[in-house]
Structure formats: structure tokens, C-alpha cells
């Protein structure tokens, strides 16, 4: 193998590694964006469900208690 061929091979390997790292960085950015979107959706759902639960508990506390049947 000549010196020129060795340099070409090394250059090709370096370019392939660079492209691979660029692709990994892009994929990582996309994955992080998706992860954050999912986390935001979970947080919104959790806040909504908590508000509903608290409203229900408040309503139950303020509702007049029903008389128990059979006792009087």
C-alpha cells in the first residue's frame, strides 16, 4: 500500500467517524426534545388530575352528609 492510499483510508475513516458523531448529535437532540415534550404532557395531566381530585374532595367535605337509613 502506498503512502497516498494510507492517507486516503485514514481520511475516509475520519470523515465517517465525523458523520457518525454528527448523526448521533442530531438524534440526541431529537430524543431530548421528545423526552421533554412527554414530560411536559405528564406534568400537565398530573396537574389537571390533582385539581379534579382536590375539587372533588372539597365538594365532598362541603356536601351535607346523608342520613343513615335505619337509624332514627
Instruction: Say what the pLDDT of residue 67 is.
Output: 65
Which residue stretches of the chain have pLDDT < 50?
none
Query: Among all chains, which residue has been given the C-alpha cell 448529535?
Result: 25
CA–CA dist 29, 37 (Å, integer): 12
Name residues whose C-beta falls within 8 Å of residue 52's C-beta, 6 or more positions apart in sequence.
none
Q: Is this model's pTM higher than 0.85 or not?
A: no
DSSP-derived 3-state class of residue 64: coil
3-state secondary structure of 26: helix
| Structure confidence at residue 5 (pLDDT) | 86
Q: Which pLDDT value is given to residue 30?
A: 97
Cell numbers describing residue 35: 423526552
| pLDDT value at residue 72 | 52
pLDDT at 69: 66
Amino acid at each position: 500500500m502506498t503512502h497516498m492510499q494510507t492517507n486516503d483510508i485514514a481520511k475516509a475513516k475520519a470523515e465517517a467517524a465525523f458523520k457518525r458523531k454528527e448523526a448521533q448529535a442530531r438524534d440526541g437532540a431529537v430524543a431530548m426534545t421528545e423526552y421533554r415534550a412527554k414530560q411536559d404532557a405528564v406534568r400537565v395531566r398530573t396537574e389537571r388530575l390533582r385539581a379534579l381530585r382536590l375539587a372533588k374532595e372539597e365538594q365532598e367535605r362541603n356536601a351535607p352528609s346523608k342520613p343513615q337509613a335505619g337509624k332514627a
